[in-house]
Structure 1
Amino acid sequence: MSITPMWRVDRDGSMFTDKKAAEEHDRMLELADGITGMLEANFKIDEQLAEEIGLLMSRNKDILAKAFKGKPEVLQEIQSGSEPAADNTVDIREAVA
């Protein structure tokens, strides 16, 4: 029987087999939370929509940074409804099976 170390992100309960990836995911969620709070503080916006926008922006922060630096055409790389897959994300049901 082998033992696989797992890291759990408290914010959303996702599990990772790599500590660095777990920390990166946590930072992404922290940024999304900040964006959500900013949207809710400055606009009359539905909480769910603000969360979705926050997640979309934080998942694509690198593309947005390039766009803000004068390359708006890179925004075409952001696919609606798509989420970049983390190669080392593990479904908890699979981890305990």
Structure 2
Amino acid sequence: MAVITRYVVEHKGVEKLVTTDKKEADKYDKMLDVADNLARYIEAKGIKLDEPVMEELSILLSENKDVVGKLFKGTGASELLEQEKAEIVELERKQA
């Protein structure tokens, strides 16, 4: 018999991630905390969005913090999107 430790990340009472990797669970949990902070900041600045839209936006920004940082430094969105596309193609090529 094997004993398997599972880490469950919940957000607002909803199970978001189940993994056996503690580092992955901690990283995802931190990303969700950052997303919550972003949502509170956006709301405090008076921007009104439906809750599902706000959650999706704040998670997107949190998951892509490195890309957002590059955008703030002046890198063009089309350039970053092309880089992401090239990375996906490379990953798919390696998996094939």
Q: TM-score, normalised by structure 2?
A: 0.68
1:76 aligns with 2:81: yes
The within-5 A match list for 1:15-26 is 15-26=18-29
* Matching residue within 38, 50, 64 for 1:60: 64
The within-5 A match list for 1:1-97 is 1-11=1-11, 12-13=14-15, 14-42=17-45, 43-73=47-77, 74-76=79-81
Gaps of 5+ in 1: 80-97
What is the CA RMSD across the aligned residues, in angstroms? 2.1
Aligned length: 79
Report the CA distance between 1:26 and its aligned residue: 0.3
Report the CA distance between 1:8 and its aligned residue: 1.6
Going by fraction, where is strand more abundant, 1 or 2? 2
Q: TM-score, normalised by structure 1?
A: 0.68
Using CA pairs below 8 Å that are at least 6 residues apart, which structure has the higher relative contact order?
1
Report the CA distance between 1:49 and its aligned residue: 1.3
Q: Which of structures 1 and 2 has the bigger CA Rg?
A: 2
Report the CA distance between 1:75 and its aligned residue: 4.1
- 1:38 counterpart letter in structure 2: Y
Contact 1:35/1:54 (<8 A) preserved? yes
